[in-house]
Structures are given as structure tokens and as C-alpha cells.
Chain A
């Protein structure tokens, strides 16, 4: 599947030649879609199964070394080292700690996400769609634990009397139904779904390890103390994900952002924090329409 432009499965081509449209929209979303002047033309999908590489298990020998100098890995934008202030020399005592961005993980995620997305767009283009609404994307594990599948689904639509999409590429949005209607009424047209992922590895040093195990404040048992190394890793992973997604906006706005943070402990004192940001890239095309005054309601159920 090297060339996304020509690699649609035969079954997909047969499905598109059928007369009936299919749509993954709920009935309320379907009704709102018709009201907005959009006609569903087909359910479109894209997939990519990726194997994740092996990145080592956090050997203590690597602590303090430049993580990007080994194995030809791309340098990350963030790394921070922590050094034990106690001066102990012991295999049990963690003298070095490090937070580091893992660009090789981010690139793998980005490759899987964008390949699956490109295939969904390819199906939409084959249907002559102007856009894809109600996009859902997910990442699931496939049978073998080392592989993940990136999966995109959406409903391809045409705009009544609308011009073909700029550059021939259909626009996409996670929104559908009244949420999409409200966004357009507010003066924003959908451009594309955008997402990014950032991954930071935390190798704890002695103080972090002590505090993470439930130890009281260092040097003052009665004092509540922040775990600085982990706090910084959490802040960094979110900032990196935001930075990556901002690079995809090219001056447009990002609406409806969802941030998902997953923390995995690999071994005692070693953990990975992954942050995924998804949202809708939108562009203002008109002034905001005033929303009518809402009518108060009370449910009887």
C-alpha cells in the first residue's frame, strides 16, 4: 500500500459503484446534515496497521547520556537531566534522572494516523465528495501485541450546488449534526481534522523515586512536596503536543479540542507519558450570526 492514490481494495471500488449511499450518521445528525444542504454520498474509511519499534527498557546505564546520540534517532525538542545531590555511589541509588521527548514514537504515530487519514480521503475523492463529516478515529491493538491499527471512519458529503473543494481535496471535520451547524453559523468553515501526539519518557532519579513511592517531603517529613520531575514531564508533553498541532494549522483556528493523556509505567521509576490532541481546523468566512435567545425548558422525565 505504498501509493495511497491507487491502493483502494477491490471490495471498496465495488461498494462505491453501488447506487445506494451509506452513512454512519445517527438519524438526528442525518436530518441536520440535510438541513445544512449536505447530501451524504457514502461511508468512507481508512486503515493502517503499524508495528511499533522496540525502544529499550530504560537501562540505568543510559542515564545521563544524551539519549539522541545512540541508534541514529532523531533529536527531540525536550530533554532534561536530574542529578542526585547526595553523592552516594550504589547500584540501588538512582544517581541520574532524565525526562526526554521520544520523537521516534511520535513519528510512528503520525505516520499511522496520516496514512489511514489519506486513505479515507482517497475513498471520499473517489466518491466525488466535497467533504467528510462525523469523522471518528481510533487506535486499537491487533491480535499480536506489537501492532496497532489506525482506523478512520466518516460520512462523505456533497454540498448542494457547492463548488468542488479547493485543490480537489475534501475538507474533513470531527463534527456532525447540530454541532457542525452551530460552528458554521458562528462563521467558521471546516478545513480538516488535525491531531498530534507527544511522548515523554521519565527515568526517575532518587528523589523522584522516593516521592513517587509515597515518601514524605525530602528533608522535612511534615511538608507536602511537589514531584518536580514528573510535573515537568506532564507540562512538557502537553506543550509538545500543542506545538505539534499548531504547526498543522497554518494560521487557521483550532476548535473542539480533545486532550487525552495516557501514563504507562514500564518499570519501577520508569514511565512513559503520551499526550494526544485532536481538533477541528477551521477558518473564519463570515461574521458571527447572533444566536436567538434560548428558551428555558424543564424536562418532565
Chain B
């Protein structure tokens, strides 16, 4: 399922309906208005999913280390879901997808498996300008309609939702180590360094993705930490953000208005 032809039959049927003018979207009314104000029209709600079997990897009890197999699984599965969502957007002739969300679901019937889902609203510029990214694909972004409008006012356009992940095993402390520092307030440099390294790896990988898109920066970076079903000593560090490029030179932003709300 890597080519556009691999979309499910029902997806093709749904997309055909959307091509005839009807659009679906998960935008709120305010978001819809601002996306229109920014010069874009929603084409349809698009999604992609991948059910992935996450392999096993041995870990050393007393050693902090990256679990590369798990990192690869978590990254590839999300990429597959994202690619399928982009395929749906391309089928609709979209310039991009806004409000992208990434979820991971676990089911009782699939031990060691997880479903990775990506969904968002495909949009197209009303004036016919192409906003496809440096790779010739529709841009993706986790920005809300309001954020999308604001970003365009700053002279930047989104290039893609970029992410980096790192699954890291945090070492257990040996009895001798624990006894050696009992009753003391001390820094545990090995733990500090392990957690630090894991987050930096996730962020570096995210920035590598942005560089491939020739982005000038990433906005709204989030750093999420989850143990999923691996126990408390194995943590996935996921770094996510929207890569942007600057399109125009000097931009003069309007001075914000001071208001007083008369609502309760």
C-alpha cells in the first residue's frame, strides 16, 4: 500500500463524490471562515492509517540505550499513515492539508500491534497558485484554521508536518549504585544524559525532515513522551512541528487592537 492505487475501494468512491463539489471537513465554523479568508477552500476530510506490528528488541537492564527497532517501527508506521493521507489529498488535487492529527490506537485483538492514524482537512488555493511543497506534494500541517491564517500573515507558508522519534530504554539502577547514594540529594548524570540524548535525537530527526523540505524553520514544536505498552523504563520521545518557509521579504504586521470583552 504505497501507491495511490492502493487506497481502499470505499475511499476511492468517497473521494469521487468530493471531486463533484461536495466537501467534508473537521474545521470549526470559525476555522472555516479564516481558511476562506486566507484564500483557500476546503476540499475534503482526508485520512490515512496503518496497522503495524511492533517487533521485539532486547534491552540491557542496567544500560540506557536507544531501541532502534522500536524507533524504526514507530517512525515508519506514522510515515505510512501520513503518506496515505497525502495520497487522498493528492487525489483531490489539494495544495495542502491543515489541522493534521496523529493518533495511535491499541486493540485487544492485536497484541504487539498498533493502529497509526493521520487525518486532516485538504485545502486548495482559490486563486490557482500552487502551494505544494519542495517535494511536489501537498503540504501538511497540524495548524488550526486560526494559526494557518496568522502564519500566512507573517509571510510564511507551511511545508510539512515534520517529526522525529526516538524510543529509549532508561537503565535500572544497580543495587550498589542505589546504596552508594542513599539518603543524599545528588544529580544522577547517567539518567540526565540519557533523557537529554533521547530528546535531542528526536529533535534532530525532526529538523532533518525540515531540511529535506528546504524549510527555513519549524513552528509550534511539541515534545511528547509516552511509554505506550512497554513499561515505565522504555519511553518514546516524539518531536512534532510544522516546517515553514518564508515567501516574501519584509512583512509589516498590523498592530494588535486593544479590546475589552463585554461577554461574561
* Min distance, Cβ B256 to any Cβ of chain A, angstroms: 6
Known: A54-B182, A108-B185. A49 touches B153 (CB 8 A): no
Give a binary string over B174-197; 1 marks a CB under 8 Å from any A CB, 0 the rest.
000000011111111101110111
- Shortest beta-carbon distance, B41 to chain A, in Å? 21
Instruction: Decide yes or no: A178 and B258 within 8 Å by CB, A15-B200, A23-B221, A49-B191 being known contacts.
Output: no
Task: Pick the residue among A19, A24, A27, A54 that contacts B143 (CB under 8 A).
Answer: A27
Q: CA of A119 to CA of B200 in the docked complex: distance in angstroms?
A: 13
Write out the residue numbers on chain B whose beta carbons fall within 8 Å of the beta carbon of A188. Answer: none
What separation, in Å, do the CA atoms of A2 and B196 have in the docked complex? 15
- Interchain CB contact under 8 A, B195 and A31: no
Interface residue SS majority, chain B: mixed
Determine the chain B residues whose CB is within 8 A of the CB of A295 once the complex forms: 257-260
A34 to B189, CA, bound (A): 37
Q: B261 to A40, Cβ gap below 8 A?
A: no
Partner of A35, one of B208, B223, B253: B253
Chain A residue numbers with a CB within 8 Å of B259 are: 294-297
Query: Would you call B199 and A45 a contact (CB within 8 A)?
Result: yes
Binds A, one of B84-92, B111-119, B211-219: B211-219
The A-contacting residues of B in range 26-53, CB under 8 angstroms, are 29-30
A22 to B199, CA, bound (A): 14
Report yes or no: A149 in contact with B241, Cβ–Cβ below 8 A: no
Q: Are B150 and A27 in contact (CB under 8 A)?
A: yes
B262 contacts the other chain (Cβ, under 8 Å)? yes
B148: chain A residues at CB < 8 Å are: 27
Partner of B203, one of A43, A51, A143, A296: A43
A60 at the interface (CB under 8 A from B): no
B192's contact among A35, A47, A111, A294, by CB below 8 Å, is which?
A: A47
Say yes or no: is A26 at the interface (Cβ < 8 Å to chain B): yes
Known: A27-B147, A34-B154, A298-B263. A20 touches B184 (CB 8 A): no
Chain B: interface residue total (CB-CB under 8 A): 61
A153 CB–B CB distance under 8 Å: yes
B210 at the interface (CB under 8 A from A): yes
- Does B161 lie at the interface of the complex (its beta carbon under 8 Å from any beta carbon of A)? no
| Contact (Cβ within 8 A) B218 A48 | no
Contact, CB under 8 Å: B218 / A34: no
Q: Are B185 and A107 in contact (CB under 8 A)?
A: yes
The secondary structure that dominates the A interface is mixed
Contact of A1 among B146, B193, B203, B210 (CB under 8 A): B193
Q: Are B181 and A51 in contact (CB under 8 A)?
A: yes
State A237–B172 Cα separation when bound (angstroms): 35
> Is A51 a contact partner of B186 (Cβ separation < 8 A)?
yes
Instruction: Assess whether B73 is interfacial by the CB under 8 Å rule.
Output: no
Are A11 and B201 interface neighbours, CB within 8 A? yes
- Cross-chain contact A104 with B185 (CB below 8 angstroms): yes
A112 interface hit (Cβ, 8 Å): yes
Q: Is the CB of A20 within 8 A of B207?
A: yes
Contact, CB under 8 Å: B207 / A23: no
Instruction: State the CA gap A21–B245 with chains docked (Å).
Output: 11
**How far apart are A123's CB and chain B's nearest CB, in angstroms?**
10
B204 contacts the other chain (CB 8 A): yes
Interface string of A102-124 (1 = CB under 8 A from B): 00110110011001000100000
Beyond A11-B197, A294-B259, 12 additional pairs, beta carbon < 8 A: A11-B200, A22-B203, A22-B207, A23-B219, A30-B220, A31-B253, A43-B203, A51-B184, A181-B256, A295-B257, A295-B260, A297-B260
- B residues adjacent to A (C-beta < 8 A): 29-30, 143, 146-148, 150-151, 153-154, 170, 172-173, 181-189, 191-193, 195-197, 199-201, 203-204, 206-208, 210-211, 215-223, 232-233, 241, 243, 251, 253, 256-263
